Amino acid sequence: MSAGVDGSIDVLIVGGGIGGLSTAYALARKGLRVRVLEQAKEFGEVGAGIQIAPNCTRILDEYGLLDEAKSLGLLPTGMVMRDAVDGSELTRLDLTDLERTYGFPYMVIHRSDLHGLFLRACRRAGVELLTDHRVVGYANTTQGERGARVELADGRVMAAPVVVAADGLHSVARGLLVDDEPVSSAYVAYRAAVPMGQVRRDVDLSEVVVYVGPGCHFVRYGLRGGEMLNQVAVFRSPKALAGEADWGTPDELDAAFAATSPEVRAGIPLMWRDRWWRMYDRDPIMTWVHGRIALLGDAAHPPLQYMAQGAVMAIEDGWVLAEHVARRRGEDGRVDWAAALAAYEAVRPEHCRRVVLTARAWGDLWHLDGAQRLRRNTILRARETRDYTFTDWVYGATALVPEEEPPMYPVVPLSSVELVES
Ligand SMILES: Cc1cc2nc3c(=O)[nH]c(=O)nc-3n(C[C@H](O)[C@H](O)[C@H](O)COP(=O)(O)OP(=O)(O)OC[C@H]3O[C@@H](n4cnc5c(N)ncnc54)[C@H](O)[C@@H]3O)c2cc1C
């Protein structure tokens, strides 16, 4: 029904992260009345960078937000993978050619700039944006007009024909669908986004660089047109493996990168040391809809970040949902919500399952040691740089319809590869 259960809104969205806000905008631009409930006192994001691939910039373009995103971010011309131990190049993507191939650019942008872009778009589109609203419970309404309701921490209840739970890794709503817990990878991420003035050495910001090493990797790219340097240092924590509660501490950071190349080590002193992010994902689930309550973004499919697709998948989710809602909205404004949610659930879980599982496998490949590391390097050096077999299913326009099963990642038995010292 187009009228909200309380008559004022069509969709309640829980969570004002990139997933919640982008979905709010996607639905509002289709004419729906949307309210976002965010638990924090203010809307905001971590002040570090994020990579957004052509499957995301395609959507930004459709939303009319791509030019603004470009003015805030940076368009690198290459993405290079290097060995973290000896610094040698393993493989690369020409991002100019990638843009020609997929029609839209690969970008890097400050998270708060991307989040702010959606926040402003939501304001312009008339989305009702409420902070300091923490949701503690969800239920479907079975009496009267069908819909769902949420209970707030202060005891208030809000209802709407549909509730979208974009409440992140620790989603409360996910418990309606599955009894699971976040899966610890025992890896931790350190971040830094600093003005170039603080960097004190030459860094080529025309490329996104990923250094892959034994039990660690290091990512570097520019932000804000080259005014800032963004770095992410990720490593396996010995303390996590030993079952210690206090894991991922700065002493472990220093030890993890001690044997890496000079270029990687030069970046480590810039990392923020007052906070770090322990890396969790969850096993994929194929059911995201419970009556009139739908999961979206990390609530549905939190990945390890190795494919740089977590926020992008959340943005795709919102776009797909809004497209199916629009297709099932009659001239009187009434939406066939059951059909729209079923269509959303028919399209997205399989794609996101593959991203979550591929990210795990990708991490395993990046973090190899010993002879396996050398074999991996041999395979990657032999890769034809214009071979997009393994990006088509991610960067292509795969979001709207179920697609055929393409290969998930290069499956070459490592034991079959001749060892080559780099
Ligand atoms: C180191 C690192 C690097 C990454 N790099 C990339 C990248 O390059 N590209 C990419 O696409 N992704 C990347 N990701 C993943 C990406 O950050 C996440 O997948 C994405 O931010 C998820 O967005 P979300 O809106 O679904 O969830 P979140 O960002 O977690 O937002 C959830 C929101 O809901 C609110 N909330 C939670 N519970 C409640 C409640 N009970 N009531 C009300 N509000 C609530 C929270 O306060 C929050 O604002 C990276 C992640 C990490 C850790």
For the segment 67-95, what is each residue's pLDDT rounded down to a tens digit?
Answer: 999 999 999 999 999 999 999 999 999 99
CA separation for the pair 71, 59 (Å, rounded): 16
Closest CA to 317 of 63, 23, 32: 23
CA separation for the pair 298, 292 (Å, rounded): 19
The total of other beta-carbon atoms located within 10 Å of residue 54's CB is 24
Q: Name the phi and psi angles at 114, rounded to 5.
A: -65, -45
Candidate of 13, 18, 107 to mutate for ligand 1, largest count of ligand atoms within 8 Å of Cβ: 18
Atom of ligand 1 nearest to the CA of 297: 26
Q: Which residues are catalytically annotated?
A: 221
The total of other beta-carbon atoms located within 10 Å of residue 405's CB is 9
For atom 3 of ligand 1, which residue has the closest CA?
305
If you search the block for the tokens 């003015």, which residue do you land on?
A: 71
Tell the burial category of 46 from Cβ atoms under 10 Å away from its Cβ (0-12, 13-18, 19+): middle
Residue ranges for the chain with pLDDT beneath 50 = 1-4, 403-422
Decide: 215 in ligand 1 pocket, CB within 6 A. Answer: no
Residue type, 200: R
Continuous segment of H or E residues that includes residue 56: helix 54-62
The confidence score (pLDDT) of residue 46 equals 84
Half-sphere exposure of 69 (CA within 13 A, CB side): 30
The confidence score (pLDDT) of residue 389 equals 82
Candidate of 298, 316, 394 to mutate for ligand 1, largest count of ligand atoms within 8 Å of Cβ: 298
pTM of the model: 0.94
The confidence score (pLDDT) of residue 407 equals 40
Dihedral of the CA atoms 335, 338, 340, 341 (nearest 10)? 130
CA of 324 to the centre of ligand 1 (A): 24
The confidence score (pLDDT) of residue 413 equals 43
The confidence score (pLDDT) of residue 398 equals 63
